[in-house]
Chains A and B, each alone.
Chain A
Amino acid sequence: MTLARRLLGFNLLTAIVLGVGGWYAGWFGAHAIVGPSIDYFGNIDYNELSVFLAYLGGVVGFLAGLGFLNYPLARLRGYPPSLREKETQGIGRYFTLCTDHKVVGIQYLWGIGLFFFIGGLNAMLIRTELLTPHNQVFPAGTYLTIVGMHGTMMMGMMTSGILGPFANYLVPIMIGARRMAFPRIEALTFWLLMAAGGILTTTIFFGGFPTGWTGYAPLSNEASAGMDNYILFFALVGISMTLLGVNMLATIVTMRAPGLTWTRLPIFVWGVVSTAVLMVLAAPVLIAVLSMEALDRTAQTTFFVTAGGGSPYLYQNLFWIFGHPEVYILALPGFAIVLELLPVFARKPLWGYRLAVAGLLGVSLLSWFVWQHHLFVSGMNGDLRPFYMLSTELISIPTGFTFLCGMMTLWRGRIRYTVPMLFCLAWFFNFLIGGLSGVFLSDAPSDTTTHGSFFSMAHFHYTIMGGLVFTFFAGIYYWVPKMTGFQLNERLGKIHFWTMFFFFNSTFFPLFIAGFEGQPRRVVTYPSGLQFLNDWVSISAFCLGISMLVFLFNLVWSLAFVKKPAEANPWGSRSIEFQLPSPVPVHNFDRLPVFTSDPYGYGEGAPPLGGLAPAGAPAGRD
């Protein structure tokens, strides 16, 4: 096939062209319908409706260009169903709709990585501004947009940070299946996320948005058109999350191989279950609240406008009903990766399997009952505060299960300090600080001071960056050799780990003090007495950024230039994905495996997952 032929098909290039076309169609179409702006609460720079319709048109064009309409249209025209899209080899399949779960996993890895990088650059810009309280590097509005982009990018994109790359790639393999339950929906979740990322990034062409990642009304009602990008971004992320969660649950419930009972499931898959439940139930609330905000901004409803009979509390409540489960959507996959990797590198079975599962599910359940601690000083019903204090602190009990199971797995092990193991051990350190600082925030009296300050900001960076991003890297170092077939450089990995660990703590620990000293979040300036602290943090943050470049260099250097082939099982793991060749072949298994135990039988003398591809096993579906 010539290059020209390849570029003409349904692929990313076509998608971008059609996306831009769809954008302009929506833009002019909306102007034709409503003409000038109908905005009478906020500013009148833009016709809000046209911004919404433009981006919706753009998303539809983008998805059509990738080929998402081919299957439904073929079915509407009466053609018989074909189960999978055309199989392709080579680099092209990464730039189009591909229903191979392994391709989607790798697409996620790079796609999420790209936006993680953009979000990280925003963090560097924030710290540049905060080098001095006096001179403005950025205008105040630009600064708020940078803050909002950083927060929204990280909180939106990284919800799929572990489930996207690792669960999509590994869950079907770990449960002995050849695909996800809904492969086309699986591809859709990824491309929706990419469309969303593009929408959020282009907010800069519409004046940005001033609200940070929480998007509180009524500030969002008076914001310029860039706010619409925020709404569309998060709503698309919500749709993507819901679909991802449904897909994961359906796959894990229905497609487990023979013998894989619930008590033999790898703990990572249990982590995916507990996260997917939250995604399915929480993300629709986000979509709902953003739809209401979109109506407030376009159709001039007044859900959140006090003067029109609405209430800003409605927004805050709905947002945090989503928002608190959301932070556990970020944290739980991290717990699961730690518990999955510790047995491998401690050479011991996972200790207290049932307690670990109870911990994951317990956090998942309790996370629904804590959201009003985000409203402790907002003037919510005062009687409720003791309850939310209690429920918030109760979460530390199931979280403690994870700590206990992890620590007892290390107990009397033969611990090997590989790069993924170092990242897992760092999780204990980071999450301990994150969790204990959370006690100050959950305690309503103490929260009076820490609420909305840099203290809470340091707290959630310890739990989310310390909990999610560290385990994300653990997963990368552990599974990327399996996914790509190439080894990552271990020495660079260790340099990456130690610089990241040191500068992460050097960046965020002083922020607890800044918060206690009275520095509110999201400020463009601060008392000059806090300059030393802020400069220390900024310089540490730049070094933290450089440590990420070490990782990026390692990734590109190892995968594109050195290309040292990875062994099938470089870690001596008993998990099933490491009994397969690296990279995993297209159909995963020649014959479906039969499971006779969980993958943690270290020291028990059994052969590693002896049930893999036994003679006479059922040929399986698909």
Chain B
Amino acid sequence: MSAAAPAGSVATPNHGRRVVIAWLLLSAVATPLVAIYVGPLFPPGNATVQSQGQVFDNQVMTALMTPVICLLAVFFAYGLVKFRAEKNEALLDGPPLRNDAKVQLLWVVITSTMVLFLAGFGTYELLKDGSGGGQGPNPIAFPANHQSAFQVQVIGQQWEFTYRYPSLGLESNQLVLPANTDVEFHVTSLDVIHSFWAVELGVKADANPGVDNVTYVQTKSPTTFHVRCAELCGLWHGYMFNNGEVVSASQFTAWAASAEKIYASIKPYVNRDAPYGLTYLPDPQRRAG
């Protein structure tokens, strides 16, 4: 379009209306598609209640972002073509538009509403069940039946995790969890800061020396998952990982019995009652595995 559009030209088409209509149409189509088809692809998956909550969070946020992306896509696709200068055009100025209070107000209101909604929604999701994140020694967000939760202590050290099951008097270098159970992790470290990341469970909690970092997760059906260290902890940080399993109640009992035999020498040191030991007994050299 070569209408040079000097300021106040009557022939100027209503660019604004075009962009807004295109945006609304595109958003109306794209948002449900993204919410329905892209949303469920988000990690960490549906292994636990908490990981499902995170997937739902991601789904909602992505759906909310889609109109934003659509607006910029439409704006730039339209604007960069429509408002480009002709090739080898002499320096021509555009109309001297300096401000529009209505546009500003509309923008501020819309962005603020979205932001406040996101913060409120995130807070609600977080407080509902803790979302699997480490909450320190005094957690504030629990699943419903957290008093009866199955307790596991996770002890990080350079460069492996050790797992203690106080209710069983058991220690292992393998993380095995019973299915359909509320689990309460107590994460600590013996040396530097590690981070206990059970990827598919949607659990992450930093392991700080001398700190009992609590987090909750509600397992569902049997599955396998990866455990990784997510905080740089020195030389072999990249190799600080292993696999875990969620198994049925009967399999769990069987596993516990076999593990108890293997780690019998550790048994006297595994504290059956909280508070959790934040240093390691016996000697770190004799830990399980």
Contact = CB atoms under 8 A, between A and B. Distances in A.
Interface of A: 140-141, 144, 210-212, 214, 216, 218-219, 222, 306-307, 312-313, 346-353, 355, 376-383, 385-386, 389-390, 393-394, 396-397, 400-401, 403-404, 407-408, 410-417, 425, 428, 432, 436, 439-440, 442-449, 451-453, 516-518, 520-527, 572, 601-604
Sorted from nearest, which 4 A-B pairs have the closest CB atoms?
A603-B93, A523-B238, A379-B213, A445-B131
A379 B135 contact: yes
Contacts of B133: 376-377, 385, 444-445, 447-448, 451
B228 A445 contact: no
21 contacts: A144-B235, A210-B234, A218-B193, A346-B94, A353-B98, A376-B133, A377-B133, A377-B195, A393-B122, A397-B112, A407-B75, A412-B83, A415-B80, A415-B83, A443-B118, A444-B123, A444-B126, A446-B54, A449-B43, A520-B231, A601-B96
Interface in B178-205: 187, 191-193, 195, 197, 199-200, 202-205
Contact of A219 (B138, B228, B233): B233
Nearest to A433: B69
A88 to B, nearest CB: 38
B69 A413 contact: no
A574 to B, nearest CB: 10
Contacts of A413: 83, 94
Contacts of A218: 191-193, 209
B156 interface: no
A445 B126 contact: yes
Contact of A379 (B96, B119, B134): B134
A386 B231 CA distance: 23
Interface stretch (B30-38, B101-109, B168-176): B101-109
Contacts of B43: 449, 516-518
A439 B232 contact: no
A443 B57 contact: yes
B98 to A, nearest CB: 5
A121 to B, nearest CB: 21
Contacts of B203: 448
Nearest to A350: B98
Contacts of B119: 386, 389-390, 393-394
Interface of B: 5, 7, 12, 15, 42-44, 50-51, 53-54, 57-58, 61, 65, 68-69, 72, 75-76, 79-80, 83-85, 89, 91-100, 103-104, 107-108, 111-112, 115, 118-119, 122-123, 125-127, 131-141, 187, 191-193, 195, 197, 199-200, 202-206, 208-211, 213, 226, 228-239
B65, B119, B213, most chain A CB atoms within 10 A: B119
Contacts, number: 278
A253 to B, nearest CB: 26
Nearest to B125: A445
B115 A396 contact: yes
Contact of B111 (A396, A432, A602): A396
Given A312-B193, A379-B206, A397 B115 contact: yes
A144 B96 CA distance: 53
A411 B79 contact: yes
A383 B235 CA distance: 34
B122 A432 contact: no
B226 A518 contact: yes
B228 A520 contact: yes
Contact of A414 (B93, B134, B208): B93
B118 A393 contact: yes
Given A448-B50, A521-B230, 18 more contacts: A140-B236, A216-B193, A306-B209, A353-B99, A355-B104, A381-B136, A389-B122, A407-B75, A412-B95, A414-B83, A444-B123, A445-B122, A445-B132, A446-B58, A451-B195, A452-B195, A518-B199, A522-B237
Contact of B95 (A348, A400, A415): A348
A521 B237 CA distance: 10
B96 A348 contact: yes
A47 B115 CA distance: 52
A428 B69 CA distance: 11
Contacts of B65: 436, 439
A351 B134 contact: no
Contacts of A351: 97-100
B50, B232, B234, most chain A CB atoms within 10 A: B232
Given A440-B61, A452-B231, A352 B96 contact: no
A445 B53 contact: yes
A439 B118 contact: yes
A174 B104 CA distance: 28
Contacts of B206: 377-379
B116 to A, nearest CB: 8
A355 B192 CA distance: 46
B76 A428 contact: yes
A603 B83 contact: no
Contacts of A401: 107
Contacts of B112: 397
A312 B208 contact: yes
A255 to B, nearest CB: 27
Contacts of A211: 232
A592 B133 CA distance: 59
Nearest to A571: B91
Contact of B238 (A346, A383, A517, A526): A526
B231 A603 contact: no
